[in-house]
């Protein structure tokens, strides 16, 4: 499973009015493990940044003047993300800018080059409704140090978001992946490979009272978010939940 955490910095807030990308950072995860195989470019936008945006990223027109234009790095970016799932905080913003840059080059939109797009801002709002869910707020919530972050930077923000994403999604679905990752990380040392089909995982059936209590908690969550909570967005298949539903 290959995933790319992606972030951009831009000259302003609106690609439709001519704002451009000035920095892009991509961090690679394979089986939920940071590989160190990252991609990072500063980009010459051929225009000045808005004062508000400059105060956020600190990348001056003079600094960017000798950097490559987006057209010069576009193919390398597309090759790097090809087929991977993208993890982006507030994905519509970054995708909107990337699509605008690709359109200027006559290339298809970003989603035709990658797999699924996962928006961690949407995830965070579902898990922490009514709370601040900026990257800084999530770092504080999960105990991830961002003390070295005085200005926004695409690669640094991608590295922080990778830690946030792993912390926010760590659960039972990652147990087998983690075991496989530990086996692969041994390098030249011969180690037995984990065969998924040989794993004997205990299955504990929930009682009727536990199921009723579980449903009551979900009802309260639905009311608090005034809709459907994230734990009900993908209901279990019918055959997996008879009267004696199971909790693995």
> Within a 10 A sphere around the Cβ of 229, how many other Cβ atoms?
18
* CA–CA dist 63, 15 (Å, integer): 21
2-170 CATH pick, 3.90.1330.10, 3.30.420.10, 3.20.20.10, 3.40.50.80: 3.30.420.10
Q: Which residue has the tokens 């989603």?
A: 111
Higher-confidence residue: 75 or 211? 75
Exposure b/e, 89-107, CB count within 10 A at least 16 = b:
bebebbbbbbbbbbeeeeb
43-47, 144-148, 208-212 — most confident range: 43-47
Tokens of 152: 């926004």
Find out whether 39 and 80 touch, Cβ atoms under 8 Å: yes
Residue spans of the domains in the chain: they are 2-170, 202-247
The lowest-confidence range among 117-131, 142-156, 205-219, 232-246 is 232-246
Least confident of 63-77, 201-215, 219-233: 219-233
89 is catalytic: no
Query: In this prediction, what percent of the chain has a pLDDT beyond 70?
Result: 78
CA distances from 213 to 20, 125, 217, 241, 243 (A): 51, 24, 6, 16, 15
* Per-residue confidence band for 49, with pLDDT thresholds at 50, 70 and 90: very high
SS3 of 10, please? strand
Q: Residue 25 pairs with which residues in a beta bridge?
A: 7, 40
pLDDT at 175: 47
What is the Cα–Cα distance from 44 to 106, expressed in whole angstroms?
Answer: 19
* For residue 243, pLDDT beyond 50: no
Helix (H) or strand (E) holding 119: strand 117-119
What is the pLDDT at residue 24?
97
Q: Which of 7-11, 186-190, 230-234 has the lowest mean pLDDT?
A: 186-190
Checking if the pLDDT of 196 tops 80, the result is no
Looking at residue 224, its pLDDT comes to 73
**pLDDT above 70: residue 172:** no
Please give the pLDDT value at position 99: 97
| Arithmetic mean of pLDDT, 150-168 | 88
Asked if pLDDT for residue 79 goes beyond 70, the answer is yes
Residue 220: its pLDDT value, please? 79
List all residues 6 or more positions away from 167 whose beta carbon is below 8 Å from its beta carbon. Answer: 142, 144
CA gap 227, 223 in Å, rounded: 7
Q: Looking at the predicted structure, is the pLDDT value of residue 233 above 50?
A: yes
In the prediction, which pLDDT does 12 show? 94
What confidence score (pLDDT) does residue 247 get?
A: 43
Catalytic hit among 57, 113, 152, 214: 152
Q: What is the mean pLDDT of residues 146-159?
A: 80
């Amino acid at each position: 499973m290959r995933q790319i955490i992606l972030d951009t910095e831009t000259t302003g807030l609106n690609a439709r009015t001519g704002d451009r990308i000035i920095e892009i950072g991509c961090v690679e995860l394979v089986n939920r493990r940071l590989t160190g195989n990252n991609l990072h470019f500063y980009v010459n936008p051929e225009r000045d940044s808005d004062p508000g945006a400059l105060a956020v990223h600190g990348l001056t027109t003079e600094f960017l003047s000798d950097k490559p234009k987006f057209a010069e790095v576009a193919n390398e970016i597309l090759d790097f993300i090809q087929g991977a799932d993208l993890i982006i905080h507030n994905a519509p913003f970054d995708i909107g800018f990337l699509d605008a840059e690709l359109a200027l080059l006559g290339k298809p939109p970003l989603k035709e080059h990658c797999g699924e797009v996962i928006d961690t801002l949407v995830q965070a709002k579902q898990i922490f409704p009514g709370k601040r869910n900026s990257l800084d707020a999530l770092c504080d919530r999960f105990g991830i140090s961002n003390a070295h972050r005085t200005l926004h930077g695409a690669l640094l923000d991608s590295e922080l978001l990778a830690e946030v994403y792993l912390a926010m999604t760590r659960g039972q679905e990652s147990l087998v992946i983690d075991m496989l990752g530990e086996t692969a990380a041994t390098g030249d040392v011969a180690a037995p490979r984990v065969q998924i089909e040989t794993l004997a995982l205990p299955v504990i059936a929930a009682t009727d009272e536990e199921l009723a209590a579980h449903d009551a908690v979900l009802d309260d969550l639905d009311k608090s978010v005034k809709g459907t909570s994230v734990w009900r967005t993908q209901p279990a298949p019918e055959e997996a939940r008879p009267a004696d539903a199971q909790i693995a």
